[in-house]
Amino acid sequence: MPIDTRLDGGPVTLYAGSRYLRDRLGFEVDGSATTLRAAGDEARHGWLGSAGAAFGDRMAAAAVRADALRAEVDATALTLSEYADTLTGAQTTMLAARQLAAAQGLIVAGTMILDPYSPDPVVHQQQRLAYAVALQQVSQARAMMVTARAVAQARQAAAHAQPMIRPGDVVSGPGGGAPVQRPAATDGDIPFAPEQREPAAAHELNHVVQQRNGPPTPAVTR
């Protein structure tokens, strides 16, 4: 049975992704944590009343989550780099298996090592030994990749489990409180601002009172 030594993947791309996570994304996350802490400290020491302390606590909590995100970024970058190392080693092993097989007279068609074929008993035995060694090398390389994939999948699951930093973790309304809910206008109601409703209501009430009481009595002068 032919031995398949094909192993796809680009270690260079994986190394580039690892560097991006560690050097660029990680740097940005660090910067956001620093900014959050600075904003919290400024509010805690510069604002009047309890709003400063509340906002400072919210910023501190968001900064802690940013630190956790940075740890996840670093862990993922390391996993990518280690996966690239394993892939490089496995691909090198596959190449060595093909070279060994070809050196012992086996036919190598692309990434496939074909079965021993020589009718000469001595040569055939050499080919069988080379085939067995190549098969062992390929099997070891495959096993290395199975382990590396399991590690990468576990890291992916851990990263997905990390809560995202959402806008609501920083601020969810004026002063960090719940958004202000204004009463909805009903049918026939004029959607004025609250400060505009009172004068209008008072004017309407005065108009009704005047209609009930009749026209005002003119003043009598003597």
Residue 219 φ/ψ region, left for φ over 0, alpha for ψ in the -120 to 50 degree band, beta for the rest? beta
What's the pLDDT tens digit per position in 6-65?
999 999 999 999 999 999 999 999 999 999 999 999 998 998 888 889 999 999 999 999
Structure-model confidence comparison of residues 91 and 206, the more confident one: 91
> Which two structure tokens, joined as six digits, stand for 139?
């099997």
Residue 89 CA, chain-centre distance (Å), reads 29
Provide the pLDDT for residue 169: 67
Task: Please report the pLDDT score of residue 171 as a whole number.
Answer: 62
Position 64 in a domain = yes
pLDDT digits (tens, 9 = 90+) for 153-184: 999 999 888 777 777 666 654 444 444 444 44
Q: Which residue has the higher pLDDT, 196 or 99?
A: 99
Q: Looking at the domain assignment, is residue 28 inside a domain?
A: yes
Question: Does the residue 216 lie in any domain?
Answer: no
β-strand partners of 3:
113
Structure confidence by residue, pLDDT tens digits, 107-118:
999 999 999 999
What's the pTM? 0.69
Domain carrying residue 134: 3-166
The answer to the question of residue 110 being in a domain is yes
CA distance 121 to 113: 20
Q: Is residue 222 part of a domain?
A: no
pLDDT tier at 212, thresholds 50, 70, 90 = very low
In a domain, 11, yes or no: yes
Q: For residue 60, tell me if it sits in a domain.
A: yes
Q: How many residues does the chain have?
A: 222
- With respect to residue 218, please indicate whether it lies within any of the assigned structural domains: no
Provide the number of structural domains found in the chain.
1
Helix residue spans in the chain (DSSP H): 11-19, 26-46, 50-103, 121-161, 167-170, 194-213
